[in-house]
Amino acid sequence: QKEVEQNSGPLSVPEGAIASLNCTYSDRGSQSFFWYRQYSGKSPELIMFIYSNGDKEDGRFTAQLNKASQYVSLLIRDSQPSDSATYLCAVNPMFSGGYNKLIFGAGTRLAVHP
């Protein structure tokens, strides 16, 4: 079992719809969770992080965390073609010594079509 799992996609949604990206992780002691966006040929850029169970909203983005189910998701409201990218889920495992060692999932490719 991979430490961080994501559906590779592509996830195709129409412009204006809600895109839902999901991620599961195996280390129950994981402390913090991150979503990075990576455009083709570019480097990953952080869009959201979440530490506590529940929802965290930032503009059109909402991160959701359920530690009991070891599940984290990212919702993108009013999806735009510019949101088309690969979204990487990253987890800070329990035994990382506080240095924010991140384990990345393989990423989900999102395609927003007009």
Partner 1 sequence: DAGVIQSPRHEVTEMGQEVTLRCKPISGHNSLFWYRQTMMRGLELLIYFNNNVPIDDSGMPEDRFSAKMPNASFSTLKIQPSEPRDSAVYFCASKKGRETQYFGPGTRLLVL
Peptide bond into 114 cis (omega under 30): no
Torsions phi, psi for 42 (to 5 deg): -115, 175
| Interaction of residue 1 with partner 1, rule CB under 8 A | no
Q: How far apart are CA 83 and CA 76, in angstroms?
A: 9
| Contact letters for partner 1, residues 92-111 (x by CB under 8 A) | -----xxxxxxxxxxx----
Tell me which stretch binds partner 1 (CB under 8 A): 9-17, 42-50, 64-72, 75-83: 42-50
Q: Do residues 108 and 13 lie in contact, with contact meaning Cβ atoms separated by under 8 Å?
A: no
| Interaction of residue 91 with partner 1, rule CB under 8 A | no
- The contact set with partner 1 (CB under 8 A) reads 34, 42-46, 49, 88, 97-107
